[in-house]
Copies of this chain bind each other. A is one copy, B any other.
Amino acid sequence: MYYIGIDIGGMSIKGGLVTQDGSILLKKTIVTGVDKKDRDIVLDIAALINDIISEYKIKKEDIKGIGIGSPGSVYDEKGIIRYCCNIPFRNTEIVKILKNELGINNIFVSNDANCACLGETMFGAAKGHKNTILMTLGTGVGTGFIVDGKLLTGFKSAGAEGGHIQINIGGKECGCGKKGHLEAYASAKALMQQIDEACIKNPDSLLNKLKEKEGLDGKIVFEAAKEGCKTAKSVLKKYIKYLGMGLVTLANVFFPEVIIIGGGVSNAGDDLIKPLQRYVSRNIYGSEFNPKIKVMAAELKNDAGIIGAACLAM
């Protein structure tokens, strides 16, 4: 039996044929038609799924289920993508359209961070755990929560917006328009702003030299800090504090067994994870009598979207 996972992004839509144990047998990618009508994008996805099935020479009846991960606001139970920033989904009945087009019934949709959290919990860094927080650091801050083995979605799937927790009264403006949200301090985009500001103030720093040589990218701050650059170390220290505060806030409420960090910034590996682990262990509520929470980098990397989406149907 096979599953299909669809990972919708602003640039491309990836589809994969996934086994029961989370391996990808075949992957295909199409360009996201952001200029098309929402229904036509869904028809593109149906064609992508048909392509995968015919290329692997299996039948529709061999597909046990299909899962779709989408950015934006998704109403899981109704199979609707409510709203998406960069793709013209507006209350798009994606599950209904796909069921009609494909004649396959077991189809589910959820937010992409939810899918990644599910994927990491079933087949990645959090395997074997029943309580997980996943945080992906990209343009924004996405979060997913597994509570007692079940995905948390909130009333009408409106929850799990952990990027929009308030960490600073009257602080920086967030992408959503409100002030002081975690996303404004801890996203990859925020880190780049913090690097940029530090470079302007410290033009002679190694950090600024790396920026001029390699361009503005999150990874240069880790490189420069390793070489002893004080400016980079100071940027990183503050960033870890912001990110750590957000994680501690969420962990004090959920108390997961594992916190998984995904997105490009997590490629820094131990240089990010070790100081974050120290911050969380030191600042978690009741550290003297509560179990320790492990902080880890995501494992599924580029395939997280496809595998995580497929997990929705498992």
Q: Which residues of B contact A145 (CB under 8 A)?
A: 253
Distance, CA A246 to CA B253, complexed state (A): 12
Indicate if the CB atoms of B166 and A245 lie closer than 8 Å.
Answer: yes
Tell me whether A83 and B289 are in contact in the complex, defined as CB-CB below 8 angstroms, given that A169-B167, A169-B171, A245-B166 are known contacts: yes
* Interfacial chain B residues near A34, Cβ < 8 Å: none
- Cross-interface CB contact of A154 among B131, B169, B171, cutoff 8 Å: B131
Taking a contact as CB atoms under 8 Å apart, the answer to whether A169 and B245 are in contact is: yes
Closest beta carbon of chain B to A127's beta carbon, Å? 15
Interface size on A, residues (CB 8 A): 50
A168 touches B165 (CB 8 A): no
Which residues of A from 172 to 186 have beta carbons under 8 Å from B? 176, 178
Is B253's CB under 8 angstroms from A160's CB? yes
Q: Chain B nearest CB: distance from A169 CB in Å?
A: 5
Indicate the member of A154, A156, A253, A285 with the most B CB atoms within 10 Å.
A253
- With a cutoff of 8 Å between Cβ atoms, the chain B residues found around residue A153 in the complex are 255
- Given that A73-B286, A161-B285, A253-B165 are known contacts, is A131 also in contact with B155, CB under 8 Å in the complex? yes
**Which residues in B have their C-beta under 8 angstroms from that of A246?**
166
- On whether the beta carbons of B250 and A161 are closer than 8 Å, the reply is no
Copies in the complex: 2
* Contact residues in B for A147 (Cβ distance below 8 Å): 147, 152
Q: Provided the pairs A253-B160, A257-B155 are in contact, do residues A290 and B167 lie with their beta carbons within 8 angstroms?
A: no
> A148 within 8 Å of B by Cβ?
yes
Contact with B along A274-314 (1 / 0, CB 8 A): 00000000010110011101000000000000000000000
A255 touches which of B83, B155, B176, B286 (Cβ 8 Å): B155
The listed residue with most B CB atoms (<10 A of its CB), out of A152, A165, A242, A250, is A165
What are the residues of chain B within 8 A of A283 when measuring CB–CB?
Answer: 178
Tell me whether B162 and A253 are in contact (CB under 8 A): yes
Nearest B residue to A165 via CB reads: B249
The interface residues of chain B lying within 8 Å CB-to-CB of A154 are 131, 253-256
Contacting residues, chain B, for A293 (C-beta < 8 A): 155
Q: Chain A residues in contact with chain B, CB under 8 A?
A: 73, 82-83, 130-131, 143, 145, 147-148, 150, 152-162, 164-169, 171, 176, 178, 241-242, 245-246, 248-250, 252-257, 283, 285-286, 289-291, 293
Other A-B contacts than A161-B255, A161-B285, A165-B249, 20 sampled, CB-CB below 8 A, are: A82-B289, A83-B289, A147-B147, A147-B152, A154-B254, A155-B291, A158-B255, A158-B291, A159-B253, A161-B252, A161-B253, A161-B286, A166-B245, A166-B246, A167-B168, A167-B169, A169-B242, A176-B286, A178-B285, A250-B253
Cβ-closest 5 pairs across A and B:
A154-B255, A159-B255, A158-B255, A158-B290, A165-B249
